[in-house]
């Protein structure tokens, strides 16, 4: 093993380094510029993330470990890093005018966003339980702060506090699980755990089993699976909408990246055990998420419950523990990121100062007043409901057919039924937008399409909507990359 050469090791964590340095520059710039002029901070954050994305894409296809095997860069980590950075860039576009409108401290906001992204990339590259834990904390702590940032509204600090306390709890459980696992197999390195797992299983080692159980609880919290989901609606509703958008896709994807690496790949010898637990968690999440979303009046809360249901769909694919299943999960996460960001983008565009206008009834007659936003929202809602020919259908199709292929027919049937339930609340938004007349005197963020809320929002909406339609019609392209992301890893299964 020996000590890695430093430049080679640093090249492995190049995206993280770029993000971290950008975050520091952003923080420093914040001190230099007046509160009213935060454009430089935004630009630095944007181009820093872009550079990190470019660096990730440039290293597509390479496979390397560094820092005594604490981190590992391979196509899987690159695939996830692309999701995080893509989400980060779109979030930045969505944030620019929103941050100004809501009077959030811009410099801190962008810095925290960048640090959180750094943690996520670490999570994707984690090759050791210690890196997993550190990555999760680096990602989570900035998000706790971001959630509580909108101090004007009483909901935001409350949401932040709830998220912090419950999140801290989940972290402690996760850490305890790691400790137990270490006690059982004497290592925190994922490759070694994989090697030791069959022996520990044979001996029915209580520490090993309990450790894995606690790990599942910790990760279930991060991706908000039922019954670890309670924080989700409160936090999503209270947080600034741009932060909600970021959390609902990036934090979730990061949680799944760890779940795939640690549980599905490194603990594959005990697939029989965890796939049972996954089965139940998936069913509970799909049922509760979709059913409760039916009665939500606040669109952020509705999307929060919908995000719980979508975590359930991803878990359906992972329950199989097969290559097809992971492949489906990767595709799903990518597509989900685009459609959910888009939906929140419309929420930002429609809302007014002080996060007003986030009730579903505020969308009444939007097709008349804002035909283009309504059209974009229609694409996102159809996609979230899984209606062909949008990408959402492709994602669900991959996930459910993976389940059927692996013999989990009932799981797929429940999933399909629950998607049907979900159609009800997604289409409700459409009905409200297209089939009701706008109320007299209803306010919208003024001006012809897009101007006051900023070009960034409009651009990101169109990027998301067009990608969803593109991927819905030509999914082969994404499927190909997801396939490459799994190359060499699935021999572990």
Instruction: Reply yes or no: is the peptide bond before residue 99 cis, omega within 30 of 0.
Output: no
Closest CA to 145 of 110, 120, 180: 110
Phi, psi for residue 168 in degrees, rounded to 5: -60, -40
Name the one range near other proteins by CB under 8 A: 35-43, 48-56, 209-217, 454-462: 209-217
Residue 437 beta carbon to other proteins: minimum distance, rounded to whole angstroms:
7
Is the CB of 15 or the CB of 386 nearer to other proteins? 386
- Work out which of 19, 123, 288, 366 binds other proteins, going by CB under 8 A: 288
Q: Is 434 in the site for other proteins (CB under 8 A)?
A: yes
Is the CB of 94 or the CB of 339 nearer to other proteins? 339
Q: How many CA atoms lie within 13 A of 93 on its CB side?
A: 22
Contacts of 124 (CB under 8 A, 6+ apart): 76, 77, 80, 81, 84, 135, 254, 257, 261
Is the CB of 218 or the CB of 456 nearer to other proteins? 218
Site for other proteins in 469-488 (CB under 8 A): 475-476, 479-480, 483
Residue 233 beta carbon to other proteins: minimum distance, rounded to whole angstroms:
6
Is the CB of 17 or the CB of 207 nearer to other proteins? 207
Name the one range near other proteins by CB under 8 A: 20-28, 247-255, 338-346, 386-394: 386-394
Q: Is 169 in the site for other proteins (CB under 8 A)?
A: yes
Site for other proteins in 87-116 (CB under 8 A): none
Q: Is 332 in the site for other proteins (CB under 8 A)?
A: no
Name the one range near other proteins by CB under 8 A: 16-24, 29-37, 133-141, 202-210: 202-210
- Work out which of 109, 393, 408, 426 binds other proteins, going by CB under 8 A: 393
Q: At what angle do helices 206-222 and 190-202 cross, to 10 degrees?
A: 130
Is the CB of 255 or the CB of 454 nearer to other proteins? 255
Whole-number Å distance between alpha carbons of 427 and 388:
14
Residue 119 beta carbon to other proteins: minimum distance, rounded to whole angstroms:
17
Q: Is 183 in the site for other proteins (CB under 8 A)?
A: yes
Residue 255 beta carbon to other proteins: minimum distance, rounded to whole angstroms:
15
Is the CB of 44 or the CB of 181 nearer to other proteins? 181
Q: Is 214 in the site for other proteins (CB under 8 A)?
A: yes
- Work out which of 122, 398, 408, 426 binds other proteins, going by CB under 8 A: 398
Is the CB of 43 or the CB of 291 nearer to other proteins? 291
- Size of residue set near other proteins by CB under 8 A: 72
Q: Burial level of 403, CB count in 10 A (0-12/13-18/19+)?
A: buried
Q: Is 189 in the site for other proteins (CB under 8 A)?
A: no
Name the one range near other proteins by CB under 8 A: 48-56, 97-105, 392-400, 458-466: 392-400
Residue 434 beta carbon to other proteins: minimum distance, rounded to whole angstroms:
7
Q: Is 21 in the site for other proteins (CB under 8 A)?
A: no
Name the one range near other proteins by CB under 8 A: 71-79, 94-102, 123-131, 177-185: 177-185
Whole-number Å distance between alpha carbons of 78 and 374:
34
Tokens 């009444």, residue? 364
Q: Is 436 in the site for other proteins (CB under 8 A)?
A: yes
- Work out which of 165, 199, 452, 488 binds other proteins, going by CB under 8 A: 165
Closest CA to 421 of 309, 335, 314: 309
Site for other proteins in 217-276 (CB under 8 A): 217, 221, 227-228, 230-231, 233-234, 273
């Amino acid at each position: 093993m020996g000590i890695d050469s430093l430049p080679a090791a640093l090249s492995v964590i190049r995206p993280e380094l770029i993000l971290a340095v950008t975050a520091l520059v952003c923080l420093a710039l914040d001190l230099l510029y007046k509160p009213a002029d935060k454009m430089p901070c935004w630009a630095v954050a944007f181009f820093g993330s872009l550079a990190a994305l470019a660096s990730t894409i440039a290293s597509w296809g390479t496979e390397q470990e560094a820092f005594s095997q604490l981190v590992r860069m391979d196509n899987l980590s690159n695939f996830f890093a692309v999701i995080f950075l893509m989400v980060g860039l779109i979030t930045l576009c969505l944030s620019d005018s929103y941050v100004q409108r809501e009077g959030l401290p811009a410099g801190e906001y962008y810095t925290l966003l960048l640090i959180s992204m750094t943690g996520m990339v670490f999570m994707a590259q984690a090759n050791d339980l210690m890196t997993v834990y550190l990555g999760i904390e680096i990602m989570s702590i900035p998000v706790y702060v971001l959630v509580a940032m909108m101090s004007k509204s009483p909901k935001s600090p409350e949401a932040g506090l709830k998220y912090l306390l419950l999140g801290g709890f989940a972290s402690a459980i996760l850490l305890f699980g790691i400790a137990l696992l270490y006690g059982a197999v004497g290592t925190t390195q994922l490759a070694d755990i994989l090697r030791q797992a069959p022996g520990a299983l044979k001996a029915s080692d209580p520490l090993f089993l309990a450790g894995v159980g606690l790990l599942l609880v910790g990760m279930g919290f991060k991706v908000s699976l039922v019954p670890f989901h309670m924080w989700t609606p409160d936090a999503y509703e209270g947080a600034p909408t741009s932060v909600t958008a970021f959390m609902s896709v990036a934090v979730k994807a990061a949680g799944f990246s760890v779940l795939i690496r640690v549980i599905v790949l490194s603990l594959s010898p005990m697939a029989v055990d965890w796939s049972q637990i996954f089965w139940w968690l998936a069913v509970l999440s799909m049922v509760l998420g979709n059913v409760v979303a039916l009665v939500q009046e606040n669109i952020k809360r509705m999307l929060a419950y919908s995000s719980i249901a979508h975590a359930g769909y991803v878990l359906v694919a992972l329950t199989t523990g097969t290559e097809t299943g992971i492949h489906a999960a990767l595709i799903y996460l990518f597509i989900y990121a685009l459609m959910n960001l888009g939906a929140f983008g419309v929420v930002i565009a429609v809302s007014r100062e002080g996060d007003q206008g986030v009730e579903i009834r505020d969308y009444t007659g939007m097709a008349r007043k804002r035909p283009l936003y309504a059209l974009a929202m229609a694409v996102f809602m159809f996609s979230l409901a899984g209606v062909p020919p949008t990408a959402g259908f492709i994602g669900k199709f991959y996930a459910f057919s993976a389940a059927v292929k692996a013999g989990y027919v009932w799981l797929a049937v429940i999933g399909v039924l629950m998607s049907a339930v979900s159609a009800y609340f997604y289409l409700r938004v459409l009905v409200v937008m297209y089939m009701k007349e706008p109320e007299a005197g209803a306010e919208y963020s003024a001006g012809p399409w897009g101007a006051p809320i900023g070009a960034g929002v409009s651009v990101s909406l169109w990027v998301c909507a067009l990608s969803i339609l593109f991927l819905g019609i030509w999914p082969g392209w994404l499927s190909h990359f997801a396939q490459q992301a799994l190359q060499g890893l699935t021999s572990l299964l």
